[in-house]
Structure 1
Amino acid sequence: MKNINSKIIVFITGAFVSSDCWTEWKSYFEQRGYQTLAPAWPFKDAPACTLRQRHPDADVAGQRLDKLTAYFRNIVRSLPEKPILIGHSMGGLITQLLIQDGLAAAGIAIHSLQPKGVFTFKYSFYKAGWPALGFFTNTGKTYLMSFPEWQYAFTNGMPFEAQKEAYYNLLVPESKLLIRDATTDAAKIDFSQPHAPLLFVAGSDDRFIPPSLNRTNYRKYNDSTSVTDYKEFADRNHFVLGQPGWQEIADYIINWLN
């Protein structure tokens, strides 16, 4: 693999959570010589508790994947060099889309939401994600995940107090239309294109984005001239960024980049 010389990292947040989920990751990578930024999504540049108080939030409810991808595309293009992109969940999908545009030196998709046409038959994927699609509900209103849904989809296997703390510190309302957009052309990837080095990180205990879905996504990439790698970690749920022991994953990413 060619050397990755960029020292700028853009962290791309996933759905349902505040960009504060990257706070410790930013410090960890900055201590190792990287310049980092973790931009809040449009209409979400506020503490999680404030955003929940705005629910139902018409501005957030109107968010769509094509506009969100364009927002990050503009941020990346404004930087002095092609950055390294590290995205989680929906942020992992956006990372794949920006890699496809040739805008990054490398990409890491952590428990990435699937592009259009990538499927799994895992029951937990449908149970965890179905409520957020909001079928037969008003799409002009945001979806706010309940605590039991959070426990099932994000923080399964963690102690109750840790689940509760994460919920109140990070959970935010989400756009139902944005989640649905993952099945549209806004989430379409041309897997045959050459691309910058791309690493998929998966977790064995993730119910929302099960590892089988990440493996299928990874295997879709078929350009033999491009580096595409996959790493699965045991005992990791969807809250992987804040789950105790996240440093192991950060260290793996740093070693992969080096």
Structure 2
Amino acid sequence: MTKTIMLIHGAWLNSASWTGFRSRYEAQGYTVIAPDWPHDDRSPAELRDFPEKALARVGQMDLFNHYDRLIRALPEAPILIGHSLGGVVVQHLLDRGLGVAGVAIDPAPTPGVPLGPHAIVSALPVFLDLLSWRKAKTMSRAFFASRFAQTAPRDKVTELYDAYIVPTPGKVYWDGVTGASGRIKWTNPSRAPLLLIGGEVDLIADASMTRAIYRKQKKAPSRTALKIFEGRSHWTCLDAGWEAVADYALKWAEEHQIAR
């Protein structure tokens, strides 16, 4: 059984978003690695105030290759847990034969799966800027409060935005809809077991879209499972009760991991 976990963050966040999960898993004896995306390795405040120009050029394939290199350098194959676009990264890494088990939490749009209505609306601020494919974008505070973290306490949204939100490259959005990130082989016989977790009231990655990804992924011979958490939004890894999501993800991965 592996004792290594890799946590992969999604768009608009960096590794600071995994503080709770990381501490909880380390307390259980795991070595936990939570790498930032390229050019995301500073505090959220610094990244918002002084984003690196190179961030705008980061695409999904860059992320897949970035995490691929990091995983292959580890002394043992890890459990892979990703949130949002990190959940897409997890699926592509599993498709490459990496990881002993994977968990995709609130997975972002995945090539080959139709966009959910909430995902379409939430992507409009990026896609309505036709030059966003070459820009690093910053989420508005209003969008954060109304769609990304609509279940967070209203008196805490400013504090939470300041603590966690970072710029993200528009290119990762365009890659997802143009297919530039490549397609997953749904019937891949070497794919490790995969758990898909969705949030009932997620306005960024619809629960219906998570179910659609599950229907695609279960074509593989390895175990595939689905869990939709009632009343949980896209902010699920930081919202009240995040511990239940963290514990469910790890317990499933522990029980179903394979040898590598």
Shorter-chain TM-score above 0.5: yes
Q: Check 1:84–1:137 CA distance in 2 against 1; reply closer, same or farther (3 A cut).
A: same
Q: Is the 8 A contact 1:7 1:33 kept in 2?
A: yes
Are residues 1:226 and 2:222 paired? yes
Aligned equivalents of 1:235, 1:138: Cα separation in 2: 32
Number of the residue aligned with 2:258: none
Number of the residue aligned with 1:132: 126
CA RMSD of aligned residues (A): 1.4
Aligned equivalents of 1:95, 1:241: Cα separation in 2: 16
Aligned equivalents of 1:43, 1:163: Cα separation in 2: 25
Match of 2:110 among 104, 115, 129: 115
Post-superposition Cα deviations, 1:90-127, rounded to whole Å, max 9, x if no partner, equal 100000000000110000000011221211342x2212
Structure 1 spans left out of the alignment, 5+ residues: none
Q: CA deviation at 1:224?
A: 5.4
Q: Is the 8 A contact 1:115 1:187 kept in 2?
A: no
Helix, strand or coil for the counterpart of 2:208?
A: helix
Q: CA deviation at 1:71?
A: 0.4
Which deviates further from its counterpart, 62-71 or 136-145?
136-145
Are residues 1:178 and 2:172 paired? yes
Aligned equivalents of 2:2, 2:44: Cα separation in 1: 31
Are residues 1:63 and 2:58 paired? yes
Aligned equivalents of 2:218, 2:102: Cα separation in 1: 16
Q: Check 1:86–1:224 CA distance in 2 against 1; reply closer, same or farther (3 A cut).
A: closer
Aligned equivalents of 1:74, 1:54: Cα separation in 2: 27
Are residues 1:37 and 2:33 paired? yes
Q: Is the 8 A contact 1:9 1:83 kept in 2?
A: yes
Number of the residue aligned with 1:28: 24
Number of corresponding residues: 252
Number of the residue aligned with 1:165: 159
Q: Is the 8 A contact 2:188 2:221 kept in 1?
A: no
Task: Give the percent of matched residue pairs that are identical in Structure 1 and Structure 2.
Answer: 32
Number of the residue aligned with 1:216: 212
Match of 1:150 among 138, 144, 151: 144
Q: Is the 8 A contact 2:21 2:246 kept in 1?
A: yes
Pairing of 1:10-21 with structure 2 (within 5 A): 10-21=6-17
Helix, strand or coil for the counterpart of 2:104?
A: strand
Helix, strand or coil for the counterpart of 2:239?
A: coil
Structure 2 spans left out of the alignment, 5+ residues: 256-260
Number of the residue aligned with 1:9: 5
Q: Is the 8 A contact 1:200 1:214 kept in 2?
A: yes
After superposing on structure 2, the runs of 4+ consecutive aligned residues of structure 1 that deviate more than 4 Å are none
Q: Is the 8 A contact 2:199 2:233 kept in 1?
A: yes
Q: Check 1:149–1:58 CA distance in 2 against 1; reply closer, same or farther (3 A cut).
A: same
